[in-house]
């Protein structure tokens, strides 16, 4: 029997257990594994804003029940979760959240393991920066946790470097992954796309260069603009409305026509060509299948270059040469 090739797509479980019911969540997870998916991403705070009690944890609980109901599947998947953004009390976010102090990190991680029903995670993320706590304290707290890798989401590059330097000095495992918002279109300078609540949440050239220089993975969240590339009922957010993106959309349309793929599938393939791992947060099986097909799409070197240079300011990502 031919072994299924592992897909580079990450399945985001943000809304599992809240707006995505358990049966649908299980069906998506089963289909993802069936088609070679491995990485599943969640967080202890998912999805407090959609939960009746204002608390996170629903997503991790659904994943825990799915893992328990599928003996042997744990060996086929990799679990990534995040900590640091759960509100201390319902309605208190963002003013009061668990943060990244040593005690909070240990407490949050223990809760995640309990909800997931596992004794170790494959990747643990710091969800967003916490400048009330020295990053060195957070790194020291991570060193004792049952996680194979550590990553950071929504942090500036200088703070990532400070944390990595401390880990290397003390013999701890340094951060080796970044999770940031990235897509084909570029937001106007000084703006944040919908759903990005952190000023360092959108992948910048500096962050991309830093990650490439240090051999770090980069995960791209909301790469499909919540379906706006292909769903006529959804408009592309106004932060992407500028002449450079008009040129990019023309190039995207042309490559989509050449390949016979949907625009969103071309976006996923382009992100992979730049060394970025796209994340899908869809809620329907057909969305998952379309995304899995998209990451299998092979663009030519000429198509990648044309897409990248469409606005005449090509993103000279160091990933393109690695």
What would the pLDDT profile of 230-261 be if each residue is shown by its tens digit?
A: 999 999 999 999 999 999 999 999 999 999 99
Element (H, E) at 166: helix 157-170
Domain ranges of the chain: 10-321
- pLDDT for residue 3: 55
What CATH number does the domain located at 10-321 have?
Answer: 3.20.20.100
- pLDDT for residue 4: 67
The two structure tokens encoding residue 41: 């991403």
Q: Cα(84)–Cα(184) distance, rounded to whole angstroms?
A: 28
- For the chain, which ranges sit under pLDDT 70? 1-4, 313-322
- pLDDT for residue 283: 87
Tell which residue, 89, 91, 67, has the closest CA to residue 78.
67
pTM, full prediction: 0.94
The two structure tokens encoding residue 51: 């939960």
Beta strands in the chain (DSSP E): 10-12, 39-41, 78-83, 123-126, 150-153, 177-181, 217-221, 277-280
- pLDDT for residue 312: 74
- pLDDT for residue 135: 98
Tell which residue, 119, 59, 122, has the closest CA to residue 86.
59
251 in Cβ contact with 306 (< 8 Å): yes
């Amino acid at each position: 029997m031919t072994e299924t090739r592992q897909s580079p797509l990450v399945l985001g479980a943000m809304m599992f257990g809240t707006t995505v019911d358990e049966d649908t969540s299980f069906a998506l997870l089963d289909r993802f594994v069936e088609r070679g998916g491995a990485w599943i991403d969640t967080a202890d705070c998912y999805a407090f804003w959609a939960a009746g009690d204002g608390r996170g944890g629903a997503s991790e609980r659904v994943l825990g029940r799915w893992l328990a109901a599928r003996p042997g599947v744990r060996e086929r998947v990799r679990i990534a979760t995040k900590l640091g953004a759960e509100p201390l009390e319902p309605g208190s976010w963002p003013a009061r959240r668990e943060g990244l102090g040593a005690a909070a990190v240990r407490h949050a991680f223990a809760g995640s393991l309990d909800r997931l029903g596992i004794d170790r995670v494959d990747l643990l993320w710091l969800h967003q920066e916490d400048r009330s706590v020295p990053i060195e304290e957070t790194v020291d707290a991570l060193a004792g946790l049952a996680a194979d890798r550590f990553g950071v989401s929504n942090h500036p590059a200088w703070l990532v470097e400070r944390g990595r330097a401390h880990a290397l000095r003390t013999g701890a495992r340094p951060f080796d992954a970044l999770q940031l918002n990235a897509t084909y279109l570029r937001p106007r300078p000084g703006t944040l796309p919908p759903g990005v609540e952190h000023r360092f949440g959108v992948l910048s050239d500096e962050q991309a260069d830093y990650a490439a220089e240090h051999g770090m993975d980069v995960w791209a969240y909301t790469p499909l603009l919540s379906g706006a590339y292909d769903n006529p009922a959804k408009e592309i957010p106004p932060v992407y409305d500028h002449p450079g993106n008009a040129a990019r959309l023309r190039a995207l349309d042309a490559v989509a026509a050449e390949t016979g793929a949907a625009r969103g599938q071309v976006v996923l393939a382009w992100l992979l060509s730049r060394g970025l791992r796209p994340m899908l947060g869809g809620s329907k099986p057909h969305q998952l299948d379309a995304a899995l097909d998209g990451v299998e799409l092979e663009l030519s070197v000429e198509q990648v270059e044309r897409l990248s240079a469409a606005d005449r300011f090509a993103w000279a990502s160091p990933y393109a040469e690695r």
